[in-house]
Each structure stands twice: as structure tokens, then as C-alpha cells.
Amino acid sequence: MSLYQAAKACLATSDPLEKAALTQELAARFFRGELSLEADDIVEPIKAPGRPDKPVLVPPKNLPKRGMGTTEGRACFLHAITHIEFNAMNLAWDAVYRFRDMPQEFYADFVRVASDESRHFMMLSGRLREMGMQYGDFEAHNGLWEMAEKTAHSCLARMALVPRVLEARGLDVTPGMMARLRSVGDHVSADILEIILQEEIPHVAAGTRWFLWCCEQEKKEPLQTFSDLITGLAKASIRGPYNLPARNAAGFGDREMAMLEELSTQAVFN
């Protein structure tokens, strides 16, 4: 089996827990050297990955807002993050499957990301079960995968806008989420988010590393390229405040942060 066939198999799997388990198995096989990087297939146009009938997908504005004061409210909040991790697993495998002829380190990075995201998904799914709920009990939105579809034509665009915009947003908001959970005594859920936060920093850093690599290959200036891609496809996703220590650790420099601050200010006034 090639790594690309493995990625395709994970993408096609509909049952979330089976997808997570298969991800763990195939990632381990890759790091044991059992999956080749020889490609004997043609990359298929991007399509929706395998997913269960639930959760029902709705526009973000239609998602209900629930407080943290009840078990159901906290479960709804954690369900949204569980759905993000489910999509992040698919996004990592799609990067592996779609972008061929990259250095071997690229595939190692994103197989590792897929493995981490599958573990995050299982941790959160387990926590939902402890609360008497399960993945699929609440509605969700499809924003992450929609961005995957918009960037399927370009590894450079994918690295810029998925890890470095949408996933980086998690670095900014997770500390506040943890504080809210701890304020209502849910330290178990907060501890899970703390693990996820620390492991997401290297994921965003991988996006930075390969965005810069793609810019070098295409002879594009990174800052202007990043700004142009955000303005064209993801301006609505840019908003502060930013978690500067985490973003710095993930490879964001001072000039980039100044650009993001300016774009978020423009979004507020527009």
C-alpha cells in the first residue's frame, strides 16, 4: 500500500471512530516504513470526505448559542470542537493525498498531524460520552472543509489558509475557552483542551514551514502572498485578539502579526 492509498482510505471512511482508529493504524505503519511514496494513481478532484449522517451541517449563523452553566451547554460547546478535530483529521489526510512530489518531511508532518487530530477526536468523543452525549447529537458547520475545497488547487494556498488562518484561530481562542470551563468547575474538559492547544502549535508551525517552502519554490514574497490570499479568500476569518506567544512559537513573525492586526481592525470598522 502506498501512503496515498492509505490517505484515500482514511478520507473515505464514514464512521468517525473507525476513521480515527484507521488513522492511528496507518500513521504507525507509515512511521515504521511500511507505506511507500510511490504513486500509481491520478489525484481525484476534491470531494466531501466520508462522514456520518449526523451531525447535520448548517450555516454557522444558524448554530444555537448555549451557556456553559449546564451539562448540555458544555457538551454542545465540546461537540463543536470535536467536529473541528474530525474535519482536521480529514484535512491532514487530504494534504497528504492531494499534494504530490513534496519532500518526504512534508508527508511525515501531515501524517503526524492526522494522527494527533484523530487522538484529539477520540479524547473529546470520550468526554462527550461521559457527559451522556455523543458526536452527532448537535448541529455543526462545514467551514473548515469548505476552505479545503477552495484551496485544493494549490499547496501554497492550503498551507496559508488552513493551518495558518483557520487552525491558528484555535491558538487564540482556546485559552479563553479553558478559563470558562474551569470557572464552572469542568476541569476535565479544560485539561483536554490544554493538551490540544499545546499540540496544535506544532501543527500550525508545519503550515508555516511548508507555506514558506512553497513560496520559495514559486518565487513569491511570503508576506504579500499571505496578505493577498487572506484578502481574497479568508478575510472574514481574521479577527483578534491574538495569542502572540503561541503564534510566535508557530512561526508568525512581527511583520505578519502587524499585517493581521491591520486586517482585523479593518474588519471591525467595515
User: DSSP assignment, residue 240?
Assistant: -
Helix (H) or strand (E) holding 239, with range, is none
pLDDT of res. 127: 98
User: Does residue 157 register a pLDDT over 50?
Assistant: yes
Inform me whether the pLDDT recorded for 268 exceeds 60: no
Query: Of 112, 213, 199, 121, which is closest to residue 158 (Cα–Cα)?
Result: 213
Residue-wise pLDDT tens digits, 1-32: 999 999 999 999 999 999 999 999 999 999 99
What are the tens digits of pLDDT across the range 229-256? 999 999 888 999 999 999 999 999 999 9
pLDDT at residue number 269: 42
**Residues 211 and 222 sit within 8 Å (Cβ to Cβ):** yes
Tell me the CA end-to-end span of the chain in Å, nearest whole number: 51
Which residues, other chains included, contact 118 with Cβ-Cβ below 8 Å and sequence gap of 6+? 19, 20, 21, 23, 24, 27, 89
Q: Round the average pLDDT of the chain to a whole number and report it.
A: 95
**pLDDT the model gives residue 66:** 78
* pLDDT tens digit sequence for 110-134: 999 999 999 999 999 999 999 999 9
Q: 8-11: list long-range contacts, CB under 8 Å, 24+ apart.
A: 8/97, 10/89, 10/90, 10/93, 10/114, 11/49, 11/50, 11/90, 11/93, 11/94, 11/97
The confidence band for 214, taking pLDDT boundaries of 50, 70 and 90, is: very high
Q: Tell me the domain boundaries of the chain.
A: 1-145, 154-270
Distance CA 255, CA 44 (A): 37
Mean pLDDT of 187-203: 98
Which residue has better confidence, 236 or 108?
108
**Structure confidence at residue 267 as a pLDDT band (50, 70, 90):** low
Q: What DSSP assignment string belongs to 169-235?
A: HHHHHHHHHHHHHHHTT-HHHHHHHHHHHHHHHHHHHHHHHHHHHHHHHHT--HHHHHHHHIIIIIG
C-alpha pair distances (Å), 33 with each of 4, 20, 36, 97, 254: 14, 20, 7, 17, 39
